């Protein structure tokens, strides 16, 4: 039996609980014993008994107590059987406490990119504490949601392959925007219109500038680069911010969207220049251990390139290695609650399997 404490029960957390509930009926080796959001927490009664995952929302609302992360962690860490903390938040504050979680004997599974792409001192401390305390830290869903990107990279490295280059379209939002923009004809949708549709359909952050500035892609590049042994940092990684400079400091996303059409001609010119060379625009992240040219940028690619054929909001990642001079390519849905929860769930099962063996 593995006990689980879940921090963050929003869109991804709720979907994870649904997947765990469906799984429990066929193989009940996982037990959720604690849940918390930013305001309330629910600890199982009697202590360390499984929570009823069919009524957890009502129970959290009616029986939950004031959220206290210290109390929550102490409860889960005193579990009589191995325990896992799932952090479904994007909180830097919680990420900074991973070393403490590991020292308390907790395994960590998370889609929170902050711990693995922020300060290098925190990243190294997490890895050192995991090794020293013989704990697991799994973060597959920080890059590509449920796609097996991190596990593939680690397998390549563990088996002695040499990583020459990793490049990919790591943002489902920017994948959708440029797929739609590139396929639209001269009289098709303008860039600003596509961004508005993407926001309306829930593909973007509440403020689309948080996608267009490239920071999310940069975090994923740093995460993968550090796994290869590179000392990448958000502070020094070259990142092309495609938000027009006059719009970067506007107070609201509404004002940004209302003024974005002023710059449609700029994006039209970029598209036409690519089209004149039988190419298409793609927003790409690159990890380059050999040439040192890692970064994030908008580039033009030949129509024959695998990235040019991407559709919808899919992610695609290409690993060029000593064993795979013709790149090993992983492609699929890289965003959304269902696939992100799947990635988290998969990591949970990896830990559970290790305790069974």
Q: What is the pLDDT of residues 276-313, one digit of tens each?
A: 999 999 999 999 999 999 999 999 999 999 999 999 99
List of the chain residues with pLDDT < 50: none
> What's the confidence (pLDDT) of residue 62?
96
* Half-sphere exposure (Cβ direction) of 14: Cα atoms closer than 13 Å: 8
* Catalytic (active site) residue 220: yes
> What's the confidence (pLDDT) of residue 186?
63
Distance CA 48, CA 31 (A): 9
> What's the confidence (pLDDT) of residue 334?
87
> What's the confidence (pLDDT) of residue 265?
96
Element (H, E) at 164: strand 163-169
> What's the confidence (pLDDT) of residue 188?
72
Question: Is the Cβ–Cβ distance between 321 and 156 less than 8 Å?
Answer: yes
* Half-sphere exposure (Cβ direction) of 256: Cα atoms closer than 13 Å: 21
If you compute the radius of gyration of the chain from its CA atoms, what whole number of angstroms results?
A: 22
Please give the full DSSP string across 333-354, using - where no structure is assigned: E--SHHHHHHHHHHHHHHHHHH
Among residues 196, 199, 220, 271, the one annotated as catalytic is 220
> What's the confidence (pLDDT) of residue 357?
62
Looking at the DSSP assignment, which residues form a beta bridge with residue 41?
Answer: 36, 65
> What's the confidence (pLDDT) of residue 355?
87
Alpha helices, DSSP H, located in the chain: 11-24, 56-63, 69-77, 92-95, 98-103, 114-117, 120-133, 149-158, 172-183, 191-200, 209-212, 215-227, 253-259, 264-276, 337-356
> What's the confidence (pLDDT) of residue 201?
86
Distance CA 57, CA 55 (A): 6
């Amino acid at each position: 039996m593995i006990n689980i404490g879940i921090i963050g029960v929003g869109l991804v957390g709720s979907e994870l609980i649904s997947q765990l509930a469906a799984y429990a009926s066929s193989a009940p080796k996982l037990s959720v014993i604690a849940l918390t959001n930013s305001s309330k927490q629910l600890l199982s009664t009697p202590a360390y008994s499984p929570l009823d995952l069919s009524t957890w929302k009502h129970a959290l609302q009616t029986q939950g107590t004031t959220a206290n992360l210290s109390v929550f962690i102490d409860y889960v860490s005193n579990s009589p059987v191995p325990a896992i903390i799932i952090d479904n938040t994007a909180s830097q504050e919680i990420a900074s406490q991973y070393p403490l979680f590991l020292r308390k004997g907790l395994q960590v599974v998370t889609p929170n990119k902050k711990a693995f792409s922020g300060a290098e001192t925190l990243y190294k401390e997490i890895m050192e504490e995991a090794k020293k305390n013989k704990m697991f830290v799994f973060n597959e869903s920080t890059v590509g949601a449920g796609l097996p990107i991190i596990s593939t990279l680690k397998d390549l490295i563990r088996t002695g392959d040499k990583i020459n280059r990793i490049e990919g379209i790591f943002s489902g939002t920017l994948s959708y925007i440029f797929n739609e923009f590139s396929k639209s004809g001269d009289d098709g949708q303008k860039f600003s219109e596509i961004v508005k549709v993407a926001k309306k359909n829930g593909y973007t952050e509440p403020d689309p500038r948080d996608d267009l500035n490239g920071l999310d892609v940069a975090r994923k590049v740093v995460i993968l680069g550090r796994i290869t042994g590179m000392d990448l940092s958000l502070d020094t990684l070259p990142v092309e911010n495609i938000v027009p400079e006059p719009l970067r400091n506007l107070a609201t996303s509404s004002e940004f969207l209302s003024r974005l059409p002023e710059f449609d001609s700029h994006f039209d010119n970029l598209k036409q220049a690519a089209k004149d060379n039988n190419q298409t625009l793609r927003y790409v992240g690159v990890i380059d251990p050999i040439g040192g040219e890692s970064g994030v940028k908008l580039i033009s690619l030949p129509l024959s390139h695998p990235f040019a054929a991407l559709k919808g909001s899919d992610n695609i990642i290409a690993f060029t290695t000593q064993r795979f001079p013709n790149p090993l390519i992983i492609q699929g849905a890289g965003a959304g609650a269902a696939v992100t929860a799947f990635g988290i769930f998969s990591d949970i099962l990896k830990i559970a399997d290790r305790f069974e063996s």
